[in-house]
């Protein structure tokens, strides 16, 4: 399997550690950003295969960052999975409206998380097929 790059944008250190621990180390390079501005810069620089986006970030929020990424001609097809601890009604619709491709609530269910990551990385491999 080709080595994939995942960009994790999350301000909480413990959450970053938890996500890192769930991802198989040998198969993915994980880039990390603690705020949305840095995350967008890293996305533009490294063109990751998948972005894990915390929605509640200091400064620019995760939804605004997702909108920027989805308007970027190079990055617009990069899948973005929203991560949020606020499981409030309407949040998922708002995240999807901003361009998020999936939505995972914290605490993160490991099985659900790995299924989503696998699905998007696999999709990326076949995206040029009809």
Q: Where along the sequence are the contacts to Mn ion (CB under 5 A)?
A: 11, 54, 56
Residue 88 Cβ, how far from Mn ion at the closest point, in Å?
15
Residue 65 Cβ, how far from Mn ion at the closest point, in Å?
12
HEC letters along 5-66:
EEEEECCCHHHHHHHHHHCCCCCEEEEEECCHHHHHHHHHHHCCCEEEEECCCCCCCHHHHH
Q: Which is nearer to Mn ion, 55 or 121 (CB)?
A: 55
Residue 33 Cβ, how far from Mn ion at the closest point, in Å?
12
Q: Which is nearer to Mn ion, 11 or 32 (CB)?
A: 11
Answer for the pair 6, 50: CB distance below 8 angstroms, yes or no.
yes
Tell me the residue nearest to Mn ion as measured from the CB: 56
Q: Which is nearer to Mn ion, 11 or 72 (CB)?
A: 11
């Amino acid at each position: 399997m080709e080595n994939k790059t995942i960009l994790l944008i999350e301000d909480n250190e413990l959450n970053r550690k938890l996500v890192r621990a769930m991802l198989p180390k040998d198969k993915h390079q994980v880039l990390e950003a603690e705020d949305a501005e840095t995350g967008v810069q890293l996305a533009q620089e490294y063109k990751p295969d998948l972005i894990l986006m915390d929605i509640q970030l200091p400064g620019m929020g995760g939804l605004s960052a997702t909108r920027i990424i989805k308007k970027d001609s190079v990055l617009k097809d990069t899948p973005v999975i929203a991560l949020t601890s606020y499981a409030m009604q309407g949040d998922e619709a708002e995240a999807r409206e901003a361009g998020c491709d999936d939505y995972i609530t914290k605490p993160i269910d490991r099985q659900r998380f790995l299924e989503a990551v696998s699905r998007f990385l696999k999709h990326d491999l076949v995206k040029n097929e009809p």
